[in-house]
Structure 1
Amino acid sequence: MLALSGGRLWTEFRVIQENMPTVFYVSPLTATVNQSTVFTVKGNYLTDNIGLSISGCTTITALEGGTATQRRFRCVPTATGAKQATVKADGKTLFNFTVNVLPLPACVPKIVYAGVESTSSDGTVEKGQSITHKWKVRNSQLSGIYPAFTLKAGQMGWIEVQFTLQESGDLKIWVDIINEKGESLSALSGGRLWTEFKVIPDNSTVFEVSPLTANFYESTVFTIRGNNLPASTAFWIAECASLTNLGGTATQWQFRCTPSYSKGVKEGVVKDKPGGTLLHSFTVNVQW
């Protein structure tokens, strides 16, 4: 019948091409050594199999809340200098870039210790801020500026002190460690346990806030860059919901929020603390 009718029977198939993940850029391109940093990958068709690797950056963690256009990762750079980095999907390289890892700024506390397992502080501090400093010891006694406290054999615990910094500048405190025999571990080890705080001076400065454009109802990470940024740094953008402080350093601080309610130009401010002194004002263009 086909030959007699002069025609053929055919079917046309259209093959659907899978959307391939594409990376536009990664930010920030600078980080501080030994400071936790959040990196944002921007692109299209970004799926859960997207991975980030940065040379010398330990414990890379994919953060929740990723979308097809944005994925975020957190890691801690362990060495300074230019570090090669890659974004991959299923082992295939999508994007190469370089991160410049900077040394610690002067106002980050420097921890030096001897004769104990570990020591920690609450991080960067500012004038007038009350902080707690802790030392972790095993089977030892702390004496000196603290009331004596002894841990029984096999125990481990925290010894802590609270104080308020009254002036800007340097503050150094120290204690002696004494073992169960009454011997000074400071004398035996040739050193003392001490902590030096670099207290943030009053002249906090903001250079810039980025980005200055954002998509309506899309979670966005905003980065503040400056000098002497206090731990109490406050951030606000009109009609930006779910504002979250992601933390930072004395030279860079990050906040996340979601532009909501309407598009257009939105006012924003950075202050040294909630309700405090204005450090920087800016505008963000919210688009569809």
Structure 2
Amino acid sequence: MSWRVWIWLLSLSILWGGSFFFAKVALGALGPFTVVFCRVALAALALNLVKPLPRNAPWRTYFAMGALNNVVPFSLIFWGQTHIASGLASILNATTPLFTVVVAHALTNDEKMTGAKVAAVLAGLAGVAVLIGPDAFARSTAGLWGQLACLGAALSYAFAGIYGRRFRAMGIAPLDAAAGQVTASSVLILPIMLIVEPPWTLAALPPATTWAALAGLALLSTALAYVLYFRILAAAGATNLLLVTFLIPATSILLGALFLHEQLEARHAAGMALIGLGLAAIDGRIARLTRAAK
């Protein structure tokens, strides 16, 4: 990759890593469904201002993608973050490619599992087991449910990745796909927010820090991040884009430690290392480096 693409990749990791930080700040004053709505609605407004959707937009596809790629995973992650640290949530979110391998094997004909991918998934699952801890299910704490919610979000992202392959076949422009899915997501999450977390029941208006976090979450970590995402995909391909998965937890953990005073346990670092090993095996770089060294 060129230096320009590397800068895009690092920028994307900061934007997506920052989403866990922004969400944690916003969740201090707002419920998770409200934060989801603000994220997708503000992002939809920004993207539609940049490039309005055509009148013949494929709304059925956008609503399905919006549910799988935004509404379900955002809701699960933000609810999970009310019980666990933002850095831990980002580590669990890094399992998305591992789930994608399994989902692709079941639902596609051209992305079947190989021996290397099986080993990668097993390493990732071992990492998740270390993260959660051996006695977590015996205790059944809120933290356990928060971690399981983040894993559920990663599984939803995996289904979204497989479903999203149809956008290219349909000839939908990347910005149209991004704007369409967040617009549909806004429509889907609005009634849920109004029923579960009606804004008129707030005791007081959220502070300025909450509004700033919502703006960062929507405009930086969603609207701008999507633009970078599609640019990297076009310039460097999906394999190189997968590198961002390695970098997101580092940004999230650093922001959480500096500004939220979060601390991760030793088992979280060990679990992250195993998940990273699995991601590297899926990415294929370990195999290529091994062959090059011989």
TM-score by length of 2: 0.23
- With a CA cutoff of 8 Å and minimum separation of 6, indicate the structure with the bigger relative contact order: 2
Structure whose residues are more often helix by fraction: 2
TM-score by length of 1: 0.23
Structure with max Cα Rg: 1
Structure whose residues are more often strand by fraction: 1
